[in-house]
Amino acid sequence: MSKALEHIISSLNNAHLYSIDDKPPLFAIDSDSPVDLNKSFKTLCASKGVLTITGEQRLKFLQGQVTCDTSKITLEKASFGAFCSLKGRVIANFLAFDDDQSTHLIMSQDLIDDLIAHLTKYAVFSRVTLTNASNELFVLGSNTPSASSESLSVTNTTDSTQLSISNDRCLIITSAVNAFKQLKTEEQLTNEQCWNELDIRDHISWISKETSDVFLPQLLGLEEKEGLSFNKGCYTGQEIIARMKYRGQLKRQLFLVELSSKDKTEVSEGTKIDSENKKNIGQIVNIQSYSDGHIALITLENDYISNTVFLVNGSKVELVIK
C-alpha cells in the first residue's frame, strides 16, 4: 500500500481495505446504514489503477496495440478499449482519456506492471514512456442522481478529471490530496463492492489477472460500448477477432444474470458454466455475491439462453437472465 493510500484510509472513519484471495484490495466502509442510491455518494476504486503513456506519438502507438480507435480519444471524449493477445483474447481492458500531455488508462491494478513489461519492447520505437501512475492518480466513483452527461464525456477542473460512464455515474481521477478531500467531505461513502455491482448492472466488465487472456473483446460488450473498432486497421489479435465477427463463428454473448444455488456453490470470476449435457457453455466475467445469491456478467452460448438450470463445479445452479 502506498503512503498516500494509507493516509487516505487511516483518515476516514470506519474505512479499510480488504482482499479476497489474491485479488486487488477493495475499499470498504463499516456502517450499519444501507446506502441510499437515490442520493449522491462516492467510493474509492482502490482496485483500479492508472497506466500513463507520455510522448507525442502515444495515440499512434496505442492505435496499433488496442481494440478501440484511438483517433476518437480527445480532450472531451474518453473510450473503452482492450489489449489483446495474438489469439485475440483480452489481456487487459481499460477506460482511456487524454489530457493533451499524456494518455491515461484506468484498469485493474494487478495488470498494470505486467502490461508495461509486455508493451515496453514496442514503446521504444514510438518514443513513448509507460508509467504506473497509481500512486499519484487515484480513481473515485461518484453517483449524481438526475445528472445527464453524455456517455464517456470528459470534464476537466483545476484538480481533477471526470469521466461520465452512465447517466448518473462518473469516475473522478485526481491526486491523493484531492481524493482525500472529496472523500472526507462526502456525506455518503459506500463500499467499492456496491460500485462494482452498479458496473455489472450497466454491463461494464473489467478483466483482472485471474481472467486475463480468456475472453474475446466481443464477449466483454466492447463493441456495443464503442471500444472495439473493425475499421481502424491492424492491431494485435485483430485477425482472429475480425474472423469471429465476419464468419459468424461467435456463438456466445454477454448477459446480465442472477445466479443462485441451494447448496451455496462457490463461484468466482473465470468459473466455467456447464449444462447437463455439455461442458463449458458459459463463463463468469464479473460477479458480486450476496447471502442468497449473486449478480453477474457471464458469457453464454446462444443455444442455451432458454435454459434455467446449469451446473457450476458439479452443483446445480439457477440462472435468470435479466
Exposed/middle/buried for residue 32 (C-beta within 10 Å: 0-12, 13-18, 19+)? exposed
- Cα 79 to Cα 25, 57, 65, 76, 258: the distances in Å are 25, 18, 14, 10, 28
Residue 149 predicted with pLDDT over 80: no
Q: How confident is the model at residue 185 (pLDDT cuts 50, 70, 90)?
A: very high
CB 76, CB 211: distance < 8 Å = no
CATH architecture of 251-322: Beta Barrel (2.40)
Residue 146 predicted with pLDDT over 70: no
Give the three-state DSSP class for 280. coil
Torsion angle of C-alpha atoms 7, 9, 10, 11, degrees rounded to 10 = 80
> How much of the chain, in percent, has pLDDT values that exceed 70?
98
What nine digits make up the cell of 60?
Answer: 499512434
Q: What is the pLDDT of residue 148?
A: 56
Burial 36-49 (b: 16+ CB within 10 A, else e): eeeebbbbbbbbbb
Q: How confident is the model at residue 24 (pLDDT cuts 50, 70, 90)?
A: confident
Q: What is the pLDDT of residue 7?
A: 86
Task: Starting at the earlier edge strand, list the strands of the sheet with 293-301.
Answer: 272-273, 282-290, 293-301, 252-260, 315-321, 309-312
Residue 145 predicted with pLDDT over 80: no
Single-letter amino acid code for the residue at 157: T
Exposed/middle/buried for residue 240 (C-beta within 10 Å: 0-12, 13-18, 19+)? middle
Q: How confident is the model at residue 158 (pLDDT cuts 50, 70, 90)?
A: confident
Nearest to 89 by CA among 213, 208, 212: 213
pTM: 0.95
CATH code for the part of the protein at 3-209: 3.30.1360.120
Domain boundaries, the chain: 3-209, 251-322
Q: What is the pLDDT of residue 309?
A: 86
Q: For all residues of the chain together, what is the average pLDDT?
A: 92
Q: What is the pLDDT of residue 211?
A: 97
